[in-house]
Amino acid sequence: MSDATHGISRRTVLKGAAVGGLGLAAGGSLLAGCGSKSTGPLAYGARSVDAGPTAQNKALIAAYTAKTKNEVKYNATESNAFQNNLSQYLQGTPDDTFEWMAGYRMQFFAEQGLLADLTSVWDTIGDQYAESYKIASTGLDGKQYFVPKSWYPWGMHFRKSMFKDLGLSADTVTNWDEFLKMLDGMKKKGLVGFAAGDKGGWEAMGTFDILNARINGYQFHVDLLAGREKWTDAKVLDVFTHWAQLIPYMNPNVLDLEWDGAMQLLLQKKAGSMLMGSWFGGNFKEQSQADYDDLSIIPFPEINPEHGRDTVDAPIDGWCVAANGTNNDGGADFLKFAGDMEGVNATLAAKDANGALIPMTSANKGQDTSTYDAFQKEQLAVMDEAKYITQFLDRDTRPDFAGPVVGPAIQSWFKNPKDVNKIVDSLQAQWDALPPLA
Amino acid sequence: MNSTAIGANKPHRRRAFSRADRTTLSAFVGVPLFFHLLLVWVPAILTIILSFTYWSGISISRIKFAGLANYKNIFFDTPAFWEAIHNNVIWLAWFAGIATPLGILLAYQIDRQIRGHKFYETAYYLPVVLSLAVTGIIWNFLLRPDGFVNGLMGRDIDNAISFFGNYNINIYVILTIASWRHIGYIMLLYLAGLKSVDMALREAASLDGATEWQTFKKVIFPAMKPVNVIVIVITIIESLRAFDIVYIIYGSSAGFPILGTLVFQNIAGEGASMKGAAYAVILFALSIGPIIAYLRTTFKSDVQ
């Protein structure tokens, strides 16, 4: 595959910069017996109970079992519950391999010794991945603890048919003024312009990410989340000023809807656009092929010409092996298969309840992008345009800051946008009050 | 003949326990006590200790002494804490001023055997059978933007009434849901108490020409003192420890902060810190303070 087939390859992945310097101490395998044929039965912990991912996992597991004769026990947990319980889960009797996210959130658990070293897996399948994925899979000690499965970009989603009716096209919504004009046009037609939900407390973080990156640039965003810049900076207030301009075009019940509620608005053609990660394409496809074909994504518009549209949130999902699992070798062996093109193909072959293929943009560069459907090609274009890749606010900053502090702060901003000064003050105060990192 | 011998021995036997009795008694007292200490007080004291530390909940070797930092953080830097206190206080006021009196009123009416009292009794008690989590799920289905009530009114999610998301009304929505269950609970407790009040008292009162309200206030209510204590304690505890309904509806986000959800939010998941333990200690102190004070005054006047 040529380099051009995969956008991320040339890009900086957040944390990658920090890790890169330490990294690449690709030591010898710590996992004995990795080369052996049978590593025995293992348990798989899924981070979703949704139909699409479940079908994918089952297909992958079936292919693995058919090949190795190793039985795989499948345990699925709803995603929020899984995350809340992860620390206890990893310290108890976890499944051997489990689904998780790349970057900071993986490094956090790797640091605590709860994840098994997967360097040997990367020795085998590493050449199937762009360097940026390896960096995102690498812990602070330079060893790999993660095998990526898929990626998706965050961007402005809309329905082609509605865009056409409104006389809009991707080229006419490239900057902030055009964007506001678009929202205004939608509002005049009685539509929700900017579908939003933040009941879950994390959804609106994506809006903060992109506004901050567009207005103040990638470097400021990264530095802010790492505590090198202040939340009380006028630049952060500027983000909220822009955000407040979007409120009149949002549905009034932002705090009553979760991401799927906002998605429903777009699905039911009650909203004209939505900022979200493209993963929800599968939900559109489940609805009908026509709805999926109607779905489209463009990068969030430019605000500050200095930064253009050079940054995108593009989280990577994948798997880890739990150090406290009973069969670390088995877990690693499974991931060697799952990360290999053979496993990727098995996953891609999975079908949803309607018998249609489940869309997935694999992290493996072996997935031929010419097989991408139209929506996936647009996702790739969004990635290709960006120079910098971030993961997502709750994957790019300290976990004891993102969930318990930033989430509630944004929610209280939605409750009363006029309180913005108080909110940024308290964000900074709460950052300053965080315990020193061990 | 034997009776004198038995009669003489009886009081003696009662005082001195045989070895078997002693074993049985210490087992009966000791085993629960052991588990009580192990499962209640050991974790409680550990939580108090942990609230003075920095720790992510993983590998105890990384624990660091924090002094009062967690408390300082909560009291001075965390607006959600004061929001939660605000919500918990309203919760308590609502329960004490509306839900509990309503439960008592219902119990009194049902005890007077008004027409259809059996039906009311069952109807009001029914929600108590459901756990708070199930209560939350039911009402969430009813009141969500895409739920039953909005559907009935022909509203779609883009113009749905925001029962949970509108911050002017959502506390009352939540409190109504919580009361739905609390009223039945109080009613049942009170009803059991009323059944045990001597009918002669009521007859005497009505013979003396007391009105219904006077009878309740001057005769029945004082006679119900033990039940009143329980009802008051339960009202305080239920208001402060509220968690389930809010968690089911809002998840672990801070959509509707109350102390219970703040504890959970700061102690569960990757973001775990001992700030959560500090919240738990504050909640513990708030709950136990008024209860001890109340019980002390009650028992003191009993002794007198």
SS3 B112: coil
Domain A3-152+316-366 and domain A154-313+392-432 have a common topology: yes
Question: Which residue among B66, B79, B166 places its CB closest to the CB of A426?
Answer: B79
Residue of B nearest to A423 (CA): B79
Question: Which residue among A85, A399, A407 places its CB closest to the CB of B253?
Answer: A407
Give residue A182's pLDDT.
94
Interface A-B, measured as beta-carbon pairs within 8 A, has a size of: 147
Chain B contact set for A203 (CB, 8 A): none
> Does CATH number 3.40.190.10 belong to domain A154-313+392-432?
yes
Q: Determine phi and psi for A274, rounding to 5 degrees.
A: -155, 135
Question: Which residue among A85, A256, A404 places its CB closest to the CB of B162?
Answer: A256
CA angle A116, A122, A125 (to 5 degrees): 135
Chain A contact set for B82 (CB, 8 A): none
The separation between the first and the last C-alpha atoms of chain A, rounded to the nearest angstrom, is 42
Chain B contact set for A401 (CB, 8 A): 271
**One pLDDT digit (tens) per residue for chain A, 438 residues:** 333 334 444 344 443 333 333 333 333 334 433 444 578 899 999 999 988 899 999 999 999 999 999 999 999 999 888 988 888 899 899 999 999 999 888 988 998 899 999 999 999 999 999 888 898 899 989 999 999 999 999 999 999 999 999 988 888 899 999 999 999 999 999 999 999 999 989 999 999 999 999 999 999 999 999 899 999 999 999 999 999 999 999 999 999 999 999 999 999 999 999 999 999 998 898 889 999 999 999 999 999 999 999 999 999 999 999 999 999 999 999 999 999 999 999 999 998 888 888 889 999 988 988 889 999 999 999 988 988 989 999 888 988 899 889 999 999 999 999 999 999 999 999 999 888 775
Chain A contact set for B162 (CB, 8 A): 252-253, 255-256
Higher local confidence (pLDDT), B96 or B3: B96
Question: Which residue among A87, A202, A256 places its CB closest to the CB of B165?
Answer: A256
> Taking 60 as the threshold, does the pLDDT of residue B246 lie above it?
yes
Give residue A9's pLDDT.
40
Token pair of A406, please?
A: 């930033």
Chain B contact set for A254 (CB, 8 A): 165
SS3 A373: coil
Digit-coded pLDDT (tens) for B98-133? 999 999 999 988 888 888 888 888 888 888 888 888
* Domain spans in chain A, listed from the N-terminal domain onward: 3-152+316-366, 154-313+392-432
> Taking 60 as the threshold, does the pLDDT of residue B188 lie above it?
yes
Digit-coded pLDDT (tens) for B194-238? 888 888 888 888 888 888 888 888 888 888 888 888 888 889 988
Cα(B243)–Cα(B93) distance, integer angstroms: 17
Cα–Cα distances in angstroms (integers) from residue A428 to residues A15, A250, A401, in the given order: 22, 27, 11
Spatial neighbors of B278 by CB under 8 A, at least 6 apart, are B51, B70, B71, B73, B74
Question: Which residue among B146, B252, B271 places its CB closest to the CB of A264?
Answer: B146
User: A257 vs B145: CB contact, 8 Å cut-off?
Assistant: yes
Give residue A37's pLDDT.
57
Chain B contact set for A408 (CB, 8 A): 80, 253-254, 257
Give residue B14's pLDDT.
57
Nearest to A226 by CA among A106, A104, A397: A397
Cα(B300)–Cα(A101) distance, integer angstroms: 59
The CATH architecture assigned to A3-152+316-366 reads 3-Layer(aba) Sandwich (3.40)
Residue of A nearest to B57 (CA): A87
Give residue A353's pLDDT.
82
Chain A contact set for B156 (CB, 8 A): 268, 270
Q: Determine phi and psi for A314, rounding to 5 degrees.
A: -140, 85
Cα(A156)–Cα(A273) distance, integer angstroms: 6
Nearest to A263 by CA among A298, A300, A292: A292
DSSP class of residue A23 equals -
Interface test with A, best of B253, B274, B279 (most A CBs within 10 A): B253
Chain A contact set for B272 (CB, 8 A): 87, 400
Give residue A420's pLDDT.
95
Question: Which residue among A251, A407, A433 places its CB closest to the CB of B158?
Answer: A251
Nearest to B110 by CA among B96, B124, B100, B98: B124
> Taking 90 as the threshold, does the pLDDT of residue B3 lie above it?
no
User: A422 vs B273: CB contact, 8 Å cut-off?
Assistant: no
Token pair of B269, please?
A: 């998941």
Nearest to A29 by CA among A89, A119, A91: A119
Calculate the average pLDDT of chain B. Answer: 86
Question: Which residue among B72, B144, B271 places its CB closest to the CB of A399?
Answer: B271
Token pair of B114, please?
A: 């008004």
> Taking 60 as the threshold, does the pLDDT of residue B273 lie above it?
yes
Beta strands in A160-307 (DSSP E): 192-195, 271-277, 295-298
Residue B127 to chain A, least CA–CA distance (Å) = 25
User: B273 vs A404: CB contact, 8 Å cut-off?
Assistant: yes
User: B251 vs A251: CB contact, 8 Å cut-off?
Assistant: no
Measured in whole angstroms, the distance separating CA A68 from the mean position of its chain's CA atoms is: 31
Cα–Cα distances in angstroms (integers) from residue A331 to residues A67, A95, A322, A351, A425, in the given order: 15, 9, 8, 25, 45
Cα(B162)–Cα(B158) distance, integer angstroms: 10
ipTM, 2 dp: 0.81
User: A84 vs B252: CB contact, 8 Å cut-off?
Assistant: yes
Chain B contact set for A80 (CB, 8 A): 251-252
SS3 B50: helix
Token pair of A55, please?
A: 């079908």
Residue B167 to chain A, least CA–CA distance (Å) = 7
Q: Determine the length of chain A.
A: 438
Cα–Cα distances in angstroms (integers) from residue A353 to residues A55, A64, A417, B283, in the given order: 9, 22, 43, 47
Q: A278 near A221, Cβ under 8 Å?
A: no
